[in-house]
Amino acid sequence: MWMVSPPVGIFQSTKKLVLSERAGRGQTLEFLRKNAANGLSMANLVAGLASILCSLNRQYSHSCWLLLVGFLLDLADGAVARQLNACSALGAKLDDFADFTTFGLATALLLQPQGVLEGLLVIAYVMAVFTRLCFFSSGIPFTYRGLPCPYASSLLAGTFLLTAGNVTLLRVTAAVMILFMVDRGSYPHDKVLESQLWKKAVYAGGVVAVLFSPVTVASIYCLAWTMSYIVFPSAIWSCKA
């Protein structure tokens, strides 16, 4: 009895289709790998822009919440870029722009300038963030020069929420944070998501506090986290990846 073999063309077409599907899936995964950190930077940028809009509409509590979300996104952004080996010049520029928008412009609007002195303080804060991002290169691996601006922003947002919007205290705190950011003292790279388990637990606790806890709990948690890094950078947060 004769067996009819399928045409060779069908096998070739099927093989090409499978290979093209695999190639397409591989390209998609590679695209996602290269742009995962950029996606987090974009999310940080959107949070900063939304925070600005909230401040312009005097919805300062919402603005503070968005700043805390931006703080968490920024920490995740760096970790993802390093873990996936997806660091690039474009990604670095995008991250800096997002940081300047969220932790510079959006944070400064919490100071609610009403006169010349308050306006100068806002300008000084924004310029301190600009200086910190653009000119303070440590030259030492896993070390910052000056206080990283996301921590200053988190401190101001937490202070605002915890004090029910005490602008005077917030302005004094902002002036102190300007000094910390422009100082060239060394701060260890936090690398929260790439270090000891307890640091990862701190980050996870921050996510839970910001997204699911009452405002008071989230404020106290972020203030404690931020202050521990500002006051005891080496004793507590010295990186041991």
At 100-146, the pLDDT tens digits run 999 999 999 999 999 899 999 999 999 999 999 988 765 555 678 89
CA–CA dist 219, 213 (Å, integer): 10
CA–CA dist 113, 119 (Å, integer): 5
CA–CA dist 65, 52 (Å, integer): 12
Q: Are 138 and 145 within 8 A, CB to CB?
A: yes
Look up the pTM and report it. 0.84
- What the block records as the tokens of 120 is 């100068």
CA–CA dist 209, 218 (Å, integer): 5
| Mean pLDDT, rounded, of the chain | 86
- Which residue in 73, 141, 59, 140 sits closest to 101, CA to CA? 73
Which residue in the block uniquely carries the two structure tokens 């060394």? 186
DSSP structural state of residue 5 = P
pLDDT score, position 2: 47
Q: Are 94 and 46 within 8 A, CB to CB?
A: no
Query: What is the Cα Rg of the chain in Å?
Result: 23
pLDDT score, position 1: 46
Across 74-102, average pLDDT: 85
